[in-house]
Amino acid sequence: MLDLQAYLNRLASAEPTPGGGSAATIVGALGAALVAMVARITLGSSKHSAVHADAVLLVGAADMLRAQFVAARPADEAAYAAVPQAQALPRVTEPERAIRSARLQTALAGAAAAPLQAAELAAELIALCVRAAELNNLHVMSDVECALDFGHAALAASAANVRINHRFLKDPQFVSEQSRRLDAITAAARRCEQEARTRISPL
């Protein structure tokens, strides 16, 4: 796996991958890592012994989610890499154009599916932030807020990558189904985010 500087160098290059969808998974992984940190610090405090059982469960969930984000990064890059590969196919003859069009549509569908999965992970991160805030450890509440901001950003970036690929897909049913799923993910995440922010900064 690339180290951070090598990844950033690739991200800054003119290559089509990695791109925004890949970067969104790293942002999400950072957020999940922060949630795990908050839970582990809370576990180390006898003052918060009443929530230690919750913190143990949160550590496991956050570590698992971080691993899922890490796995989602190469999946997103591979999915999008198929798009320029399809675009590069010959299109001089009618059969060539038909093959290219079919390959491109398949690639675009995959390029939309990968960030849609990442959006689901981002929504899970936001839900974990509610649990992290419920630990009520004021010393690390700013880290919970950072994790929540990362979850929000990862979701927004993933959603943007889903929608941009939808613009070029020709199957309206496929687009409609994915759009409904994305809308449901976003709506649920929005409710969780509001709850988390209320707990982080109570009136």
CATH of residue 168: 1.20.120.680
The one-character DSSP state at 46 is G
| Tokens at 117, concatenated | 């999965």
Question: How far is 139 from 45, CA to CA, in rounded Å?
Answer: 11
Tens of pLDDT, residue by residue over 4-39, are 999 999 999 999 999 999 999 999 999 999 999 999
CB atoms within 10 A of CB 94: 8
The one-character DSSP state at 137 is -
Contact 121, 72 (CB under 8 A): yes
Question: How far is 18 from 27, CA to CA, in rounded Å?
Answer: 14
pTM here is 0.94
Of the candidates 37, 28, 35, 31, the one whose C-alpha atom is nearest the C-alpha of residue 71 is: 28
Question: How far is 185 from 183, CA to CA, in rounded Å?
Answer: 5
pLDDT at 2: 61
Cα 59 to its chain centre, rounded Å, is 19
Question: How far is 14 from 164, CA to CA, in rounded Å?
Answer: 19
Of the candidates 174, 158, 170, the one whose C-alpha atom is nearest the C-alpha of residue 80 is: 158
Q: What is the pLDDT along the chain (203 residues), one digit of tens a residue?
A: 569 999 999 999 999 999 999 999 999 999 999 999 999 999 999 999 999 999 999 999 999 999 999 999 999 999 999 999 999 999 999 999 999 999 999 999 999 999 999 999 999 999 999 999 999 999 999 999 999 999 999 999 999 999 999 999 999 999 999 999 999 999 999 999 999 999 998 64
The parent domain of residue 119 ranges over: 4-200
Tally of structural domains, the chain:
1
Map residue 3 onto helix, strand or coil. coil
